[in-house]
């Protein structure tokens, strides 16, 4: 590679880095403004069980990061990527090759809940902290498609509860599968919230799934720009590896590609067309803090109603 080529590549990298810095500055400013405006809400006592979600976030002392995981924001692929960046899973060449049973054993990744409170707080102050968020209504639809509509083994009971509550004549305790509609699922989520229940982490408001207002986060990624944002974070984490052998071992690790966002986005109008307008407005209210903190605008899913 000649000098001109090297200079051109460096210029491109510098431009991309500056663009990312501008994007992050904008996102962090929106988050800071929202945290101040809604301090009376985000700082209020959290529901029972909330702390169990927070302290299970991941950290690494070599790369000095804390990843605040939020369900339905590519959390599984982040686990895969972080496990491989840790340098121990040498039998796999790419993160997407790691089987789910290995991913969820979490043997090669550390959680904050394994540390005393003082050590957790120290890392939250000192380490590079990043989080990924997603447009709330798209995230909700993704949770329905991935968990409830498929009767995924941990969510078969949820599907059954929905049918028993809204279509009791169709409920059979011996059924191996329940067909729930998206409109029924939305109604179920809203009823659970109205009853004061702690929502499942896959559709819990994101600001409750991660304490984004305190401490201050260094990087706020958006699922809608996942691969651009993830590439930046992965590069950042690699640069924090001091051991040269370890750094060389993981230099080709990249965040897995996925098309789930485009598939879900294409279904938004179709699926929300089945939901009463009043319920959509109730969802906007349920996720109002997420919209304010993360700079999302309400998707126009009611235009055909």
Q: What is the pLDDT of residues 24-82, one digit of tens each?
A: 999 999 999 999 999 999 887 766 655 555 556 899 999 999 999 999 999 999 999 99
pLDDT tens for each residue of 158-168: 999 999 999 99
Question: pLDDT value at position 259?
Answer: 57
| 3-class secondary structure, 3 | helix
pTM: 0.89
Predicted pLDDT of residue 303? 55
Domain ranges for the chain, please list them.
3-135+211-258, 138-203+263-294
Q: Which residue has the higher pLDDT, 46 or 229?
A: 229
Residue 111: strand pairing partners: 58
Task: Report the distance separating Cα 112 and Cα 107, nearest Å.
Answer: 14
Whether the per-residue pLDDT at 125 is higher than 60: the answer is: yes
Query: What integer is the mean pLDDT of 93-119?
Result: 86
Q: What mean pLDDT is predicted for residues 113-133?
A: 92
Residue-wise pLDDT tens digits, 167-181: 999 999 888 899 999
Task: Reply yes or no on whether the pLDDT at 131 is more than 90.
Answer: yes
Full strand arrangement of the beta sheet holding 65-68: 110-111, 58-60, 65-68, 128-133, 219-222
Q: How far apart are CA 69 and CA 76, in angstroms?
A: 9
Average pLDDT over residues 4-32: 73
Residues 253-269 have pLDDT tens digits of 999 977 566 677 778 99
> Can you give the C-alpha Rg of the chain in angstroms?
21
For the chain, give the percent of residues with pLDDT over 70. Answer: 88
Of all residues in the chain, the percent with pLDDT exceeding 90 is: 67
Mean per-residue pLDDT of the chain: 88
Q: Which backbone phi and psi does 9 adopt, to 5 degrees?
A: -65, -40
pLDDT at 301: 82
Tokens of 38: 């809604």
Is the preceding omega at residue 215 within 30 degrees of 0, hence cis?
A: yes
Q: Which residues of 48-57 are buried (b: 16+ CB within 10 A; e: fewer)?
A: eeeeebbeeb
According to the model, what pLDDT value does residue 9 have? Answer: 36
Rounded to whole angstroms, the Cα distance separating 51 from 23 reads 30
């Amino acid at each position: 590679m000649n000098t001109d080529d090297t200079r051109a590549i460096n210029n491109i990298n510098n431009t991309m880095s500056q663009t990312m810095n501008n994007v992050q500055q904008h996102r962090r400013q929106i988050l800071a403004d929202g945290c101040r405006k809604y301090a009376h809400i985000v700082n209020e006592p959290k529901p029972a069980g909330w702390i169990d979600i927070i302290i299970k976030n991941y950290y690494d002392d070599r790369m000095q990061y804390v990843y605040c995981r939020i369900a339905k924001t590519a959390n599984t692929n982040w686990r895969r990527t972080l496990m491989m960046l840790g340098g121990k899973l040498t039998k796999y060449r790419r993160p997407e090759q790691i089987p789910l049973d290995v991913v969820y054993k979490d043997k090669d990744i550390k959680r904050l809940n394994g540390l005393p409170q003082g050590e957790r707080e120290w890392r939250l102050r000192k380490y590079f902290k990043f989080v990924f968020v997603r447009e709330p209504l798209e995230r909700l639809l993704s949770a329905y498609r991935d968990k409830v509509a498929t009767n995924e083994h941990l969510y078969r009971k949820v599907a059954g509860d929905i049918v028993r509550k809204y279509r009791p004549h169709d409920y059979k305790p011996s059924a191996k599968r329940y067909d729930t509609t998206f409109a029924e699922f939305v109604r179920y989520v809203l009823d659970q919230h109205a009853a004061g229940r702690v929502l499942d982490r896959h559709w819990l408001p994101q600001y409750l799934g991660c304490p984004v207002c305190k401490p201050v986060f260094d990087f706020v990624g958006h699922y809608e720009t996942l691969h651009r944002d993830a590439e930046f974070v992965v590069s950042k984490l690699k640069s924090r590896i001091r051991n040269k052998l370890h750094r060389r071992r993981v230099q080709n690790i990249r965040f897995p590609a996925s098309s789930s966002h485009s598939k879900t986005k294409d279904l938004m109008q179709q699926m929300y067309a089945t939901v009463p307008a009043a319920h959509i407005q109730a969802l906007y209210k349920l996720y109002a803090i997420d919209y304010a903190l993360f700079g999302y605008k309400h998707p126009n899913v009611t235009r055909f109603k």
